[in-house]
Structure 1
Amino acid sequence: MSESSQWITFLLIGLGTFALRLSFIEFYGALRIPPLLRRALAYVPASVLAALVVPAVMIQDKHAGVDWTNPQIPAAILAGLVAWRTRSTLLTLAVGMGTLWVLRSWGL
């Protein structure tokens, strides 16, 4: 594949993604969304966040699983508890990253 065809592919994929996202924003008020679907859409941000965070935390050295020697797991659990109790994004990030740095500096 030549360099110009790669750039054209990237551009078309980007435009397609933009068009899909814009269509939801543009037509959201004009379309009648059933109440059941509207309630289900409220859970999309949390599920997307979980889909991004869980693999990043659980997969270490190309192997997925609960390995307590992986310092990301206790740091993520502690950050989740802080987020649940305080609802503070900044405090959650500080506690999670601080815990991860401390565990890594201890050699875990």
Structure 2
Amino acid sequence: MNDWLAWLGAHETLLLCVGAATIVTVLPKVLPVTFLRGDCLPPLLRRWLDFVPVAVMAALVGPDVFIYNGRFDLSTDNLFLMVSIPTFLVAWKTKNYFVTIAAGIGLVILARWAGFA
């Protein structure tokens, strides 16, 4: 028992750091699920939250579309920008993430097979 207490005393800072990291990681995931259930939210907030997945996807995909070969590129040489245009149309028409991602990947494969970039 004394060894255990001695170890805890010697590693107090490490344990506090791990505990704080755990709290900081878990709270942002647990609190929204706990307190923001869809049935108790006002309609305006529910409508606003509908845009969150789209905003997150845009933040993830945007840099990959506009930065090509290590630089900002809006030219027709940018494979991902050229493929994103028909992929955007697929997304708009189907409103389905899986179909949109499959179309984008398929178009990149097709473009590379055809010799583009």
Structure 1 counterpart of 2:50, from 23, 29, 42:
42
Please, what TM-score do these two structures have when normalized by structure 2? 0.66
Equivalent-residue separation in structure 2 for 1:11 and 1:60 (angstroms): 41
Which ranges of structure 1 fall in alignment gaps of 5 or more residues? Answer: none
How many pairs does the alignment contain? 101
2:78 corresponds to 1:78: no
Q: Deviations 1:41-82 (Å, cap 9, x if unpaired)?
A: 121111111111111111113322312111111211111211
CA distance in structure 1 between the partners assigned to 2:79 and 2:18 by the alignment:
36
Matches within 5 A, 1:9-88: 12-13=20-21, 15-29=23-37, 33-88=41-96
% same residue: 31
Higher RCO, 1 vs 2 (CA within 8 Å, ≥6 residues apart):
1
Task: Name the CA shift for 1:107/1:55 in 2 (closer, same or farther; >3 Å).
Answer: same
Q: Which runs of 5+ in 2 are unaligned?
A: 1-12
1:33: Cα distance to partner? 4.4
Which is higher, the Rg of structure 1 or of structure 2? 2
Q: Can you list the C-alpha shifts for 1:4-55, whole angstroms capped at 9, x where unaligned?
A: x99x8687545412211101101124xx644433321121111111111111
